[in-house]
Structure 1
Amino acid sequence: MQADTYADGPAPFDPRALAALVDGTMAGVGVLDTGLRFLYVNRALERLNGIPAAEHLGRTVSEVLPGVDAREDMLRAVLADGKPREITSSGFTAAAATVRRYWHGAYHRLEFDGRVVGVAGIVLEIMTSDKGQRELEQARRHLNLLDTAAARIGTTLDMDTTCAELVDLVVPGLADLATVEVFPPDVAPPVRPAPPGVLRLRRAALRAVPALRDELDGFGLTGEYIDYQEGAAVQRCLAVNQPVVENLTTDEQLVRSAPGPERLAAYRALGMHSAVIVPVTVRSGPLGILGLIRAGDSPVFTDEDVVIARELAGRAAVDLDHARRYAHEHTIALELQRSLLSEPRPPHPHIEIATRYLPADRSVMVGGDWFDVIPLRDGRHLKAMGDVMGHGVEAAVAMSHYRSLLRMLADDELPPHRILEQLDRMVERSGLDRAATCLLAVVDRIGGACEVASAGHLPPVLIDPRAGARVCEEMTVGPPLGTGLGGYRTTMVEFDPGTVLFLYTDGLVERRGEDIDASVDRLRELTLPAGGSLERLLDDVLERFGPGAEDDIAVLASRTRPTGEEPDPAQAGPA
């Protein structure tokens, strides 16, 4: 360094004058060595950092100020190329540990006798306005809401869960209270009709900050049906498919925004003063609304708040539409399957039958499992257990198709393998693209033997009260129905009177990571004493094998009573 030059020539350098200048300035001044360790800190920088000067010396910037983005990469660049740089940094210091601060600094390289000895910096704090800080923090909150929406909304195919995820996201970040209200599903049980001109929605989700939770009873709770009068904010929002923003400073404004005048007291108790109603819509039409409310000391909604609310509602609408479609299809399929799986009527007073159907223990579509019992001539009867591949309405409809064809073919008094052959050909010609497994068993009138044939289905189990259970491994298993391959065979199976014939679908035994033969082999452990309840047997089977099932389960148990034995209503299934 060299002394300043004056008009009369060079002035002698006085270090004390330089120290007085540096220590007296309001700008923070610091000198770092080539390792970016502090060599000197003036009083202003000491105050800015909130750390005594002595605690700076010999330590790097990141060691002294771990909460500050000091841009050490830029400082190293100054050392490397000697070009001065202006650097803006921000962070938290001991002088204000909870408030983010911003600094602007000018840095240049120090050289002595041609040797680089360090970096000198002059730093000024940038004072942003309170309004600017609030806007910056609000922008950060909004960005965070949008960033987390994809991960937090639509985690399931349940509409109410999706609605709850939406209100959980926006409270308290965007509102003090939030609701999602949806149109009742068209497959739900009917509700009382709404009066003319009234819009009825179901409140699917509600969330409020803790300070408002004690006042929610009069506001309306989750699960209620809310009637909105003509001219209410919700009706106006859905009529134009645009957000409605209201500052509710008078009773007249509150009543206009409410479902009806009776809610005025509840709205006043909440202290609500600003509301935004946002439509939740998809291309096919409106699904409902997202309602946001601010109360007490919270600021009114801004235009940016409304933009963010609409963006979140739009994202949630896609997930809600998926959930609505799933619920619609699931309900139809379930009702169809229930109607088709009505309890079979015993073909003869001396035949006992018990059945169960258990959906998989998770939110999946119902499957195509079915069972049937069909009376034949000469006291015989046909038992069937089948499983259409796939899930949903299509599988349930295909199951109905299979069952109808089977009943028609059973009237021809054919042996089981011939029924399967004709059923296979008919399904192939019909164009039905759902294959199915099926097990048929024709039981003679005294119940001492049966003819069985399988189209890709698992073998039945015979439960003898004295000898225990055995799996009918001797039968031949043909290909599933719908392939057109044929090749089915009938096997005669004999058993003692009182033996239970147990049929099931693969959901009962199939487990991930386990060989199916080992799974079926566990059915040999089934027991039932003479005269034991078939209903209780199936309860025990499902309790033991049902947990952990990944597919639907259908089971059927039957037996023939000895001739002359009167039926016991407590033992038999419903007629």
Structure 2
Amino acid sequence: MNAEQFPAAWLFPETTDAPSPMTPEPPVDGTERHHECGILRQIVEGTSAPVVIVDEHLRYTYVNPAWTAATGVPASGYLGKKFGSILPDVQTPDDVLIEVLADGKPREVTVTGTTPVPSPVGRRIWRSVFHRLESNGRVIGVCGIGVEVSNLRQYLDDLETAHQRLALLDAAGTRVGTTLDVETTCAELADFLSPSLADVAAVGIVEEEFDRTPPPPPGVLRLRKMKLTAAPEVQLHLRELGGGKPYVDLPRGGFIRNCMDSGRPWRGNSASEELMEKVTAAHDSVKIFRMAGMHSVLVVPLPTAGRSLGTVMLLRGGDSAPFSEDDVLTAQGVAARAATSIDSARRYTGEHAMTLELQRALLSEPTPPHSSIEVATRYLPSGRSVLVGGDWYDSIALPGGRTLLVMGDVMGHGFQAAVAMSQYRSVVRTIATSDSGLTVDEMLRKADHRAARIGLDRVATCLLVLADPEHGTCTAATAGHLPPVIVRPDGSAEVLDLPAGPPIGTELGDYELTTFSWDPDAVLLLYTDGLVEQRGTDIDDAVRGLTELDLPADGPLEHLVDTLLTQLTSGICEDDIALLAARQCGGNPPSAPPASRVLPEG
């Protein structure tokens, strides 16, 4: 704006009854004063900071070019108008100006609002300071100078949003994927996203096996409904969604299928009923969502390497704001972390099931002992957080009415440990049956040498007890395994002290045998460390704790082993448990049916 656009008379109004607010005392040198005023005018009209002057009645008497450029209103549109009448969408601090007029103290204030000139930041922000103007002791108005800080405010808002997103992702890392169970992980994901990011959150996973239902047509992807979580006020309407099929079939070309195939999210704010029906792939669901007040949808795939294993559908309704671009980024971050946990849970479930089947195949039918000895066995898999391991037991009938009782534990967990377990079991069985004249310490020494020679990459602890009912004795040797326990009919129990030897597979074999008497009615217990191992408790103290249990040694062995597991476990174990109880038949007939059993997980 130049002088022609805003006449000098507006900046220096001439009155007859009082000096102009911008006109000082007549200068001695009028030319010099005129020059100074020209410099001041260049500063005021050349600055990028908005400058306004209002009189004592809060009417505009001057605005500089910066303010007209910022607001889009010409200078002539301001002159003589009230301060807040020109820009109705801009906050007017009239009360602050009145205070400045009253006491003369400058005041800072933040002015916000929208103007006819569009701004990339939307609502604009100015930080302004107002000063009282006086002439010859008379108050003639207020001058305001402002600096726009919209971009700085936007930067701070973006920074705060980024911090909130990181905090949300960090919280998701601790609350989603706490177990290696697919259903639990999906439920944790839905429960986390609603209400932290949406009013409704639904999680679906691609169905890969169709044992319970017919498979979908070729080219159709089946998505199993895992969990739907909603805010309490919405839950009432969504109860009807619990019925119907537990899955939805997705042909190519649909919204959800496109999201999964492309790996990109889809956002639909203020979606029409027709659009929501296409997204949800269910007309009845749309009606229920509409009744619940849902207005915006966000679909995010659950990405893994090369494919999507499912989707998350988020909905907002009522007074909730539509989904922003930042919401999309946050949802993608949470979904990516959750997908990793779900994929790991799926892999674990497959490996766990395969390993458990291998364990069952190997342990469900141990070689029967001699008829003079009865045996009861149990195998209890570990809980969800630990893979099945390499525990094993066996009973091998040898000449002379003797029976070799075996208990072993391969180091490590998982499928490879189970495979190694089967090899160790075969090695011990082969050695015991090929040369019945060997003592138990010699059996361990041969097993150690053979395991090292065939290249087994995992060592194993092993306890061998050769039971001889005819002579009422047992000989035992241990390769780093926990000692056996004898339980007598009167309820007393004793831990047998055996010289410890190195695990087999190390080729360091140096083992000693120990012979002890075995009363006809006493029960011999062999076990792996999962039965007694406790965090914060010394293993020797934990083993001695077996002698303090009240175990019914004079009843069926089935009852004894079940009682023992009930007293020492609470359903989910941190490590596998293998247990073998043996007793001479004598006057107690063997339990029927055969006592070997693999207990289900948990």
Counterpart code for 1:422: K
1:152-551 equivalences under 5 Å are 152-153=172-173, 154-156=176-178, 157-184=180-207, 191-220=213-242, 224-246=246-268, 252-261=274-283, 263-296=285-318, 298-342=320-364, 344=366, 346-360=368-382, 363-412=385-434, 413=436, 414-446=438-470, 448-466=472-490, 468-473=492-497, 475-526=498-549, 528=551, 531-546=554-569, 550-551=574-575
Counterpart code for 2:562: D
Structure 2 residue matching 1:512: 3-state secondary structure: coil
TM-score (normalised: structure 2): 0.69
TM-fit CA distance, 1:557: 0.8
Structure 2 residue matching 1:454: 3-state secondary structure: strand
Counterpart code for 1:219: L
Among the aligned pairs, what percent are the same residue? 43
Q: Deviations over 1:45-74 (max 9, x none)?
A: 99679x9xxxxx9xxxxxxxxxxxxxxxxx
The answer to whether the 8 Å contact 1:203/1:221 transfers is no
Structure 1 pair 439–568 and aligned structure 2 pair: CA distance change class (3 A) = closer
Of 560, 575, 579, the residue aligned with 1:555 is 579
Task: Find the aligned partners of 1:568 and 1:170 in 2 and give their Cα distance.
Answer: 54
1:54-93 equivalences under 5 Å are none
1:148 correspondence with 2:168: yes
Structure 1 pair 142–179 and aligned structure 2 pair: CA distance change class (3 A) = farther
Structure 1 residue matching 2:575: 3-state secondary structure: coil
Task: Find the aligned partners of 1:254 and 1:554 in 2 and give their Cα distance.
Answer: 55
1:6 correspondence with 2:24: yes
Higher Cα Rg, which structure: 2
TM-fit CA distance, 1:445: 4.3
Residue aligning to 1:95 = none
TM-fit CA distance, 1:242: 2.2
Structure 1 pair 569–393 and aligned structure 2 pair: CA distance change class (3 A) = closer
Task: Find the aligned partners of 2:130 and 2:251 in 1 and give their Cα distance.
Answer: 67
Structure 1 pair 350–513 and aligned structure 2 pair: CA distance change class (3 A) = same
Task: Find the aligned partners of 1:25 and 1:400 in 2 and give their Cα distance.
Answer: 95
Task: Find the aligned partners of 2:464 and 2:491 in 1 and give their Cα distance.
Answer: 24
Segments of 4+ moved more than 6 angstroms: 21-26, 84-90, 121-129, 132-139
The answer to whether the 8 Å contact 2:491/2:552 transfers is no
Task: Find the aligned partners of 2:589 and 2:167 in 1 and give their Cα distance.
Answer: 70
Task: Find the aligned partners of 2:492 and 2:408 in 1 and give their Cα distance.
Answer: 25
Residue aligning to 1:64 = none
Residue aligning to 2:86 = none
Task: Find the aligned partners of 1:269 and 1:138 in 2 and give their Cα distance.
Answer: 34
Q: Deviations over 1:554-574 (max 9, x none)?
A: 221110111x76445389667
The answer to whether the 8 Å contact 2:551/2:564 transfers is no
Structure 1 pair 330–222 and aligned structure 2 pair: CA distance change class (3 A) = farther
Counterpart code for 1:460: P
Counterpart code for 1:7: E
Residue aligning to 1:78 = none
TM-fit CA distance, 1:88: 7.7
The answer to whether the 8 Å contact 1:469/1:525 transfers is yes
The answer to whether the 8 Å contact 1:461/1:471 transfers is yes
Structure 1 residue matching 2:239: 3-state secondary structure: coil
Q: Identify the range of structure 1 (284-293 vs 244-253) with the bigger mean alpha-carbon deviation.
A: 244-253
Residue aligning to 2:34 = none
The answer to whether the 8 Å contact 1:232/1:257 transfers is yes
Counterpart code for 1:151: A
Structure 2 residue matching 1:215: 3-state secondary structure: helix
Structure 2 residue matching 1:207: 3-state secondary structure: strand
Query: CA RMSD of the aligned region, Å?
Result: 4.6
Task: Find the aligned partners of 2:555 and 2:24 in 1 and give their Cα distance.
Answer: 118
TM-score (normalised: structure 1): 0.72
Q: Deviations over 1:254-285 (max 9, x none)?
A: 44223345545444444444322222112242
Task: Find the aligned partners of 1:552 and 1:409 in 2 and give their Cα distance.
Answer: 26
Q: Identify the range of structure 1 (524-533 vs 136-145) with the bigger mean alpha-carbon deviation.
A: 136-145
Structure 1 pair 277–142 and aligned structure 2 pair: CA distance change class (3 A) = farther
The answer to whether the 8 Å contact 2:374/2:591 transfers is no
1:81-120 equivalences under 5 Å are 104=127
Structure 1 pair 369–107 and aligned structure 2 pair: CA distance change class (3 A) = farther
Structure 1 pair 325–566 and aligned structure 2 pair: CA distance change class (3 A) = closer
Task: Find the aligned partners of 1:253 and 1:471 in 2 and give their Cα distance.
Answer: 72
Task: Find the aligned partners of 2:532 and 2:555 in 1 and give their Cα distance.
Answer: 23
The answer to whether the 8 Å contact 1:182/1:204 transfers is yes
TM-fit CA distance, 1:500: 0.6
Counterpart code for 1:429: R
User: Any gaps of 5 or more consecutive residues in structure 1?
Assistant: 11-20, 27-43, 52-56, 58-83, 91-100, 109-120
User: Any gaps of 5 or more consecutive residues in structure 2?
Assistant: 1-21, 29-53, 60-91, 100-104, 113-123, 132-142
Task: Find the aligned partners of 2:162 and 2:192 in 1 and give their Cα distance.
Answer: 11
Counterpart code for 2:564: V
TM-fit CA distance, 1:396: 1.7
Task: Find the aligned partners of 1:426 and 1:288 in 2 and give their Cα distance.
Answer: 49
Structure 2 residue matching 1:179: 3-state secondary structure: strand
Structure 1 pair 127–358 and aligned structure 2 pair: CA distance change class (3 A) = same
TM-fit CA distance, 1:343: 5.2
Structure 1 residue matching 2:216: 3-state secondary structure: coil
Task: Find the aligned partners of 1:383 and 1:347 in 2 and give their Cα distance.
Answer: 9
Q: Deviations over 1:310-343 (max 9, x none)?
A: 3332333233333333333333333322333325
